[in-house]
Amino acid sequence: MATAGRNLSHFKKEEVPNGADFRIGIVVSEWNETITSNLLNGAIEALISSGVKEENIHVETVPGAFELPLGAQYFCKRKDIDGVITIGVVIQGETRHFDFVCQGTTQGIMDVMLKYDKPVSFCVLTDNTLQQSIDRSGGKHGNKGIECAIACLQMIALQKKEG
């Protein structure tokens, strides 16, 4: 496992683009809210510590992970949003529902990003157990919300540089 025994959420602030002029949309799933709220808090903390102004962080909720692509699309249509972070959690159950939700969500988010030519960061945990999700939302493996916020900032900076 790639994260075995490692917290991957540490970053060097001086290596992260200054987000003072960036406007970020965050779409967060209400399903598995105890996990998604931790991911959201990590993302917001990382954005603010990287210079993004609180008033430039816009958060909207959707019912579940499957609705994340449409929520991201709503943000991508807006001219006042530079990038989007999608936050959700899908935990393996007893049926193939997990597979369909993960596939649809992943493909949908990728499609939105490419269609609108805007950075959309993928913070969707697809874990086998609740404990794995806890470990990745502020536990022993860090907080994937932080990692996705930093990735979003990096991609916005790249787009502005190349733009």
| 97 a catalytic residue | yes
3-class SS letters over the chain: CCCCCCCCCCCCHHHCCCCCCCCEEEEEECCCHHHHHHHHHHHHHHHHHCCCCHHHEEEEEECCHHHHHHHHHHHHHCCCCCEEEEEEEEECCCCCHHHHHHHHHHHHHHHHHHHHCCCEEEEEEEECCHHHHHHCEEECCEEHHHHHHHHHHHHHHHHHHHC
The single residue listed with the structure tokens 């806890």 is 134
Catalytic residue among 10, 58, 97, 141: 97
By the 8 A CB rule, do 82 and 29 touch?
A: no
- Catalytic residue set: 97
